[in-house]
Amino acid sequence: MSKLSNKTYNEISVGDKASYTKTISEKDVILFAHVSGDINPVHLDEDFAKSTPFGGRIVHGILTASLISAAVATELPGPGSIYLGQSLKFKRPVFIDDTLTVELEIKEKTDKRQRILIDCKISNQEGKIVVTGEAEVMAPSEKLSLNRPKLPTFQAIDA
């Protein structure tokens, strides 16, 4: 089983970088719609979405942005990080089956309360930037190395 490890505040330097990649599936979009309640037809109805400027269904913007949280939690700083804030700019649409790469770069450290500011970019498989922003994170003070949890299987339960 692989491990999740972190960088503590004292181990982090301005300019440190990390990345995280995920392909967004149909299942991801459907699950996100269920969890968030965002049933905008531009995400769920192909016929409707074809009539929009995007020409087809697009992925929820916040689902795309949530990959930044995954990158912070698993890559930099990693486990024990506390997310405090996020600014976002959506630059391009994301489509189902796009492969997205989050790039994180430590922009600033604030010793008081161990805060870090992270420059965030998400690009698609063509290298085009789809989201930019900054995350404010409280970096962990304790070094951690944990077994990577296995996600439980999911079975829909209609209520």
Q: Length of the chain in residues, anyone?
A: 159
Comparing C-alpha atoms, which of 74, 70, 59 is closest to residue 130?
59
The percent of residues in the chain predicted with pLDDT above 70, rounded, is 97
Residue ranges and CATH numbers for the domains of the chain are 14-141 (3.10.129.10)
| Residue 57 structure tokens | 């269904």
Give yes or no for residue 159 having a pLDDT over 60: no
87-116 pLDDT, tens digit per residue, is 999 999 999 999 999 999 999 999 989 999
Alpha helices for 37-104 (secondary structure H): 41-44, 46-50, 61-74
